[in-house]
Amino acid sequence: MKRYGKAISCLLAVLLLTVVTVLPASAASDAEVGEDSYLFSDSLTVEDTVTGDLLAFAMELDVRGAVRGSIRAFASALRLQGEVGRNVTVAGLTVQCDETFSANDVMIAGETVVFDGVCRNLRVEADTVYLAGKVTGELYCEADKVVLIDGAEFDSARILSPSEPVVAASPTDSGERSLAGSAFEGRVAFEKQNGPVVDTLLSLAVSLLSGLALTLFCALLFAKRSDRVAGMLKAHPFAFCLRGFAPLLLLPFAGVLLLLLGYTMSVGAVLLLAYFLVIAASKAITALLLARVLLSRWSAIPASLLLSAGISVLGVIPVLGTLSSLLCALIALAALLEVVHPRREPIVLKNPEMDFRV
């Protein structure tokens, strides 16, 4: 689901940017590890006591020891078993909090989440959630499927899901029962959500309408002025896209740097504004340029609208959507660079054929 992919991507970026040192997985002991621990590996098992915060990134992560600070972690398979003194923010494909786990506030994003620990406030966003622990404060859950395990303790819960929560004896029990008539009835505030298919269609409709409107605006303003840039894209498509990498990486950095310098704040603000405007209109600009390249015999506006609709459809496909958005950003930024700093085509002089016959 889209929201989980964004949450995981943001958390991964935070972890990579905050790396300070790499500590190996520890063996079982009663020693205390540093103040803040930063662990990065393919497989990690933390059995020592961490006196500060724990930040970790791994394919498999098992935290068995106590953490006196907070935990921020990402792992494909994540298991939490110890006591945490403060808060927990984790993401992964599978996240399991055992009955020995305890913390204050817990936020989890993933695909399959099993919570059997104790915490004050719990917020979970996942595909499938099994709730079997104890929550003394606020419980919020947003998932495609929510299973309440017999013995779970909470005063009230707010659950958002396409289907009504069910009750089971254990996470592995296939004999699921209806919420009505169970011990949880009356304590769960259930809000029915649209299913993933409906969400995808709604997202496509919004993207399609906004994309067509923005493309029509760009076509009306820049259709007659885009011939030169479209010609450069047609003549050197690969090199043209490569030119977009430099502004994609450097423009935001340069804008923020100029803002921090103080005396050039206006220049930095203009750079950042131009960058975000071009990124926002990147799909419309790409549709306009590709229309001039691929459908040159068509009128500019109908051709641009047609290609804009195709780009919007690609945008809702997980992998192709990300790739198409990146390509559109590169093309739009390369077009901006071409307008600001035009690249001249090399002039090739051809000598006329000379007849040396006598």
Query: Residue 26: what pLDDT?
Result: 38
* Nearest alpha-carbon partner for 126 in 136, 115, 135: 115
59 phi/psi in degrees, rounded to 5:
-75, -45
DSSP 67: B
Query: Residue 189: what pLDDT?
Result: 86
Question: Is 324 in contact with 315 (CB distance < 8 Å)?
Answer: yes
Contact residues for 347 (Cβ-Cβ < 8 A; gap 6+): none
Buried b (16+ CB within 10 A) or exposed e, 14-48: ebeeeeeeebebbeeeeeebeebbbbebeebbbbb
Q: For residue 286, what are the CA distances in angstroms to 230, 243, 328?
A: 10, 14, 6
* Residue 235 CA to its chain's centroid (Å): 34
* Nearest alpha-carbon partner for 336 in 207, 236, 256, 243: 243
What digits encode the pLDDT tens for the residues 296-306?
888 888 999 99
What digits encode the pLDDT tens for the residues 114-155?
999 999 999 999 999 999 999 999 999 999 899 999 989 998
Query: Residue 179: what pLDDT?
Result: 84
DSSP 102: B
* Residue 282 CA to its chain's centroid (Å): 19
Q: Which structure tokens are listed for 14?
A: 């935070």
DSSP 25: P
Question: Is 156 in contact with 140 (CB distance < 8 Å)?
Answer: no
DSSP 349: -
Radius of gyration of the chain (CA): 27
Query: Residue 25: what pLDDT?
Result: 39
Long-range contacts of 14-23 (CB under 8 A, 24+ apart): 14/72, 15/40, 15/55, 15/56, 15/57, 15/72, 15/73, 15/74, 16/57, 18/55, 19/55
Domain ranges of the chain: 2-193, 197-340
Question: Is 163 in contact with 144 (CB distance < 8 Å)?
Answer: yes
Low-confidence residues of the chain: pLDDT under 50: 1-33, 346-352, 354-358
Half-sphere exposure of 280 (CA within 13 A, CB side): 9
Residue with tokens 């620990």: 117
